[in-house]
Each structure stands twice: as structure tokens, then as C-alpha cells.
Structure 1
Amino acid sequence: MIRKLGSLPRRVYQKHGAFYFVTIERKWIRLCSVADGMAAMYEALAATLKADNTHDSMPAVIGRWVDSKRGEWADKTATDQERISKVMAEAFADLAPAQVTTPVCAEYLKNFSETPRTYNLHRTMLRQVLAFAALEGLREGFNPIDNVPTKTLAGRKRLVTDAEIAALKVAAMQQARNGEALVQMIDLALLTGQRIGDLIKMRWQDVTDDGLLVEQGKTGQRLLIQWSPALRAAIEACARGDKIGHVLKTQSGRGYQYAGIRSAWVRACERAGIKDLNIHDLRGRAGMDAREAGSLEAAKELLGHKSIRMTEAYVDGKAPRKAKPSR
């Protein structure tokens, strides 16, 4: 059985305001203070298990897998993956990879059955961790999670309207911080269809004579978005003196973190009275606009999708189908 979320791992105890790991020889090893939190405890536990030559535990394997992938992830992806890995390490703290069976995987994923996207994220990570364990020789045979089905995700149908965009910009400019940059980001997102993480990474050397060069963090694909009058105007609106460094800058001249620009977005939505609108919905609107102005293929190229089917699934249902009257 896997340990229930929220309980302490095997051989970890809380004593005198700190977490301790007790070795087989009954030696107490201090991990961290309770005030440091569970995440710090699991990081210290993974390091201790490696030093204790018990590297075949699931928390230790998960930690090594995260280390092996860290260089491949964008900042936001790394934050999300590390958060999931800590939850997983807690749940599988008492098990070795060879003990993880299909029923154990299914039991763990029940924790996320009400949220299909989160369920699938945990399933994907667990599959990769178990494959990593097999490469290390810590388990044999097929991957037990292959028999646990994924959850079907309902496509998001929310489409941001022109009126909402106008209201968001007005609300953004009423903010004391980050308002102007949020307006600039909204314009760039609607014109380029790129993910917010990729927009805030853009630097002035990516602004070329032929267009705007984007390297998509999720896929690694490089995309040159050719100039239009609207895109040129949006880029020029971001210029502050010398065109050096990030295109989107904070008031202190540094590049934005995702959390900062998202916080400005949430405040603008609240001020404008707009509900159920995600910052990622700007990308969906850009895809719809590209399809309406050109074709599904045009939307695919702008969004950087690998297949038409992916683009079709992404934009389907975001706007009503058009039909002519019978007479």
C-alpha cells in the first residue's frame, strides 16, 4: 500500500521542532526544521537516502529523475514538475520501484480523478519515473502504469471577446505596477499566438528585419513570425530607450517572471469584473483569429503545432459554427 498523502515517510519522525530520518542502525539524522516545510524535508530525505546507500527507494529515484530532466524544462515547467514530484515522493515514500504495481498506480491516481489534467500530469510523470527506474536496473518487465488509462480532457471553449480585451487594458492601466507591460503582453499574445512564458523571454535580438523570432520553450521549435503593421506597432510600443535586453520589462528594467505577469493579469480581471478568463485564453483567441483570417493551416503554423489534428482540437468549439439561412 502507498502511504496516504500528508503522512510522514517511513523512518521519518518529528521531534523537537525538526524532522529526523532514523537509519536501520537507529541513528537519528536531522533533515530540517519543521518550519522549513515538507518540501525541504523531502529534498533532505532524498539526499540522505543516497548517502545511506538506499538509493532504490521511490523518493530517491524521483529525485534523480528530476535532476536528469531539469535542463530540458522551461522555468514554469520546472516549477510545475518539481511540485508534482514532491507530492509523488510523499505518496510512494515506503516503496521501491519494483513494488509499484498497476493497482498501486491506480490507487495513487485516484487522488486526482476529479481533475483530469492534473491526473494526466501525474500519470505521465509516474510513467517516466518508472521507466527511469528500469534503466537503472531497479525494476523489470512492462511499465505498470500502461494499464491505467488516461483521462479525456474536455477542450476549453472560452473565447476572450473584443469588449473583454478593451476592458482588461483599461483595468491594467489603472494598476500602479506592471499595467503598461500587461497591455503590451496582451497585444503581443493576440498577434503572435505564443505562450506567455515564451513572450516574456523575448529579447530585442529576437526582433529581426524579417520578423519576430520565437523559440518555443515547450517544443523547442523556432518560429519566425513575419511582420505585419500591427505587430510592428506592438513591438515598437515596448521600446524604452535603447533596444537592449528583454522586450517586456519591469519598471526596474528587468525581464518578467511568469508569476509577476500572471498576478497583474488576475488583478486586471478582478478590476474589470471578468470571470473565468485564463491568461492562456489569449493564445486560443489568436488561433481562432488566424483560422478566420486564413485557414486552419495558418493557425497551425502560428501556434507551432505539429499536426492539423492538434490545431483542430485546440480551436474546435471556441466559436460557434457559421451557417447560412435556408432562404
Structure 2
Amino acid sequence: MALPTDGLPALIDRALPAITAEKSQTTRTQYEYCAKQLKEVFAEFRPEQVNHGVIVQMMDAYSDRKAIANRMLTVLRLTYAWALDRGIVQIDPTVSVKRFTPKSRDRLITPAEYTAIYAQCAPWLQIVMDMCYLTGQRIGDVLKIEYSHLLDEGIFVEQQKTGKKLIVGWTPELRAVVARAKDENTKIKSMRYLLAGRAGKMRLPSNVWRCFKDAANAAGVEDVTLHDLRAMAGTEAERQGFDPTALLGHTDRRTTQIYLRDRNPKVVSGPGRSQAKKAG
């Protein structure tokens, strides 16, 4: 099949629906943003004109925003894979391009910082914060909790990112927050989502992120994101003797370690005298 006469931006537009078809709303939004950036960067390029060096230049240009650069590379790679499968291109120039190695985040929100941010939040956002912390789940999974997910054992969660299913068991604190959410919801009269927005629909994670960031800025708390509440939950769960891997829905303890941010030195014990020494 001949190469298309249109440019790479048009190819991205053609591939994007298939690329995002089975992704969560959060991932779709991120990919769509990156697709827009890619179309600007490669506005004058045809697909066959893009090579290793050009893509590396793109990565260099976004080196101050490594997470976005990596995501842009992912979208570009998926675009070429889609086109390659359909015979639109013959070569995928992204395969030899390396991603930036992300720096491990070790930011841990302190109780005082949590309280300060909390004081700047509207009641609905306070409920969202408490739900994120008490369940340890991602914001997208918290926002899609439905009334039908409130079971006798706890709150049922199916994680969008991994498909992992779990039930976060009831605690007095969690029951109290859910009761507050129900009271808040009576103003909206949503019959489906526990944390619904004004129109009774599921709130957009991007809007909640923005409101949280505004509250953090108003509180004077720097370098904090809504996702840090998940790390705070996992870290505190481990401190209290619970299994953070189970709470966060990970299958590998090594993944959980990324979220555990207690950097205080641990008290350890050395061995006693060996039996051989005692016998001697």
C-alpha cells in the first residue's frame, strides 16, 4: 500500500480512536493531550519523514517535562504500530528511542499538611480527600464508586488501570465518610454515583485534580498532588500493620514499594549469640 499523501497529524487522528478505545477516561484525556502536542511538533512531517533523530529531538525539547515526553512517545509508538499493522507505513521509527527514566517520587503528605489543605476545600472535596485516603484508591476509581458498590463487607472497587477487583472493608471512619457523602448527595439527587457532581454525573478527575491543587496553593502546601494521598494511605497502612499491597491492589510488592514513603530509620535487632558459641 502506498504511503499516505497527508501528514503525520492526520495519521494520529486516524489512529487515536483505536488507541484510546479501551483506555480509562483519565488515560484517554492524557493521550488526547499528547496527540495534540505531537500534531504541533510534527505539523510539517509526513509519517515516513519521521526518524530516530527527529523523535530524540522531540524528547530533548520536553526534557523539563519528562512524564509528558514519555507519554508522547507512547502515543507516537502506538500510532506507528497501528499504521504498521495496516500497511500504511513500513517502518516504526520509535522502536529505538529510549524513554526518560522517571525519578522516584518520595513526597509524603504530613497530617498537618493534610489538615491545612482540607481546611481550604469545599465539603464535597473534603469527602473526596477522605475517600481517597481511607480506601487507598486512585481518584478515578474513587469517583466511579456507585451506590451498588456499597456492600455488607465494604466498598467494591474494580481498578480501571489494572482491572483488579477488591473490597475495601468497612471501618468506622469509612462508614462516617460514606454517610457524609450520602448527605451531600441529597442536594444533587444522584441515584448512581456516591460522589456525583452537580448534574448527578460522575465528576471528571481532571476537575478534581485542579480543585485540589487550588486548595493546596491556598494552604501554602507545595509540591503535592492528589495522587500523593494514595501513597499516604499505603504508607500509613503499613505503619499500622496492614498489608499495603492488598490495599493498593498491586500484585507485586515491588510496585507497592514505589508508594511507601516512610523514610524514617527502622528499629532492627541483631542476632543473639549462636548455639555453637554458647556451647563453647
Same-fold call, TM > 0.5? Answer: yes
Write the mapping of 1:1-327 to structure 2, written as runs, cut at 5 A: 54=4, 57-141=7-91, 143-172=92-121, 179-240=122-183, 241=186, 244-250=191-197, 253-294=200-241, 298-315=243-260, 317-323=261-267
Cα shift at 1:276: 1.7
Q: Is the 8 A contact 1:56 1:138 kept in 2?
A: no
Quick one: distance in 1 between partners of 2:14 and 2:201? 33
Q: What residue number does 2:278 align with?
A: none
Once the 2 structures are TM-superposed, how far is the Cα of residue 96 of structure 1 from its aligned partner? 3.1
Q: Answer yes or no: is the 8 Å Cα contact 1:269–1:275 preserved in 2.
A: yes
For 1:255 and 1:226, how far apart are their aligned partners in 2? 23
Is this contact kept in 1: 2:154–2:167, CA < 8 A? yes
**CA displacement at 1:253 relative to structure 2:** 4.6
| RMSD of equivalent CA atoms | 2.5
Alpha-carbon offset, residue 194 of structure 1:
0.9
Q: Quick check: which one's strand share is greater?
A: 1
Rounded Cα–Cα distance in structure 2 between residues aligned with 1:214 and 1:104:
42
Aligned partner of 1:22 in structure 2 is none
Which secondary structure state, in structure 1, belongs to the residue aligned with residue 61 of structure 2?
helix
Counterpart position of 2:276: none
3-state SS of the aligned residue for 2:95? helix
- Letter of the aligned partner of 2:245 in structure 1? K
**Residue type at the aligned position of 2:124:** A
Native 8 Å contact 1:159 1:319 kept in 2: no
For 1:314 and 1:166, the matched residues in 2 are separated by 21
Q: Once the two structures are superposed, what CA deviation does each residue of 1:132-177 show, in whole Å capped at 9, x if it has no partner?
A: 1111112235x332222221111111111111222222222xxxxx
Asked whether the equivalents of residues 58 and 95 of structure 1 are also in contact (C-alpha less than 8 Å), the reply is yes
Encode CA deviations 1:236-278: one digit per residue, 9 max, x unaligned: 2211357832111345654422233233323322332222221
Q: Is the 8 A contact 1:158 1:318 kept in 2?
A: no
Letter in 2 for 1:261: V
TM superposition shift of 1:54: 4.2
- Please report how far the alpha carbon of residue 88 of structure 1 lies from its aligned counterpart in structure 2 after TM superposition: 0.9
Percent of matched pairs sharing the same residue: 31
Counterparts of 1:57 and 1:105, CA distance in 2? 16
Cα distance change, pair 93–247 in 1 and its aligned pair in 2 (3 A): same
Partners in 2 of 1:266 and 1:144 — Cα distance?
37
Runs of 5+ consecutive residues of structure 2 not aligned to the other structure: 271-280
Measure, in 1, the Cα distance between the counterparts of 2:190 and 2:173: 19
Q: Distance in 1 between matches of 2:48 and 2:93?
A: 10
- Secondary structure at the aligned position of 1:224 is classed as strand
In the comparison of the two structures, how many residue pairs are matched?
264
Mark the CA change 1:239 to 1:61 in structure 2 (over 3 Å): closer, same or farther: same
Give the aligned residue type for 1:322: K
Cα pair distance change 1:55/1:193, threshold 3 Å? farther
Shift in alpha-carbon separation, 1:252–1:104, aligned structure 2, 3 A: closer
What secondary structure sits across from 1:217 in the alignment? coil
- TM-score, with normalisation over the residues of structure 1? 0.73
SS in 1 for 2:155: strand
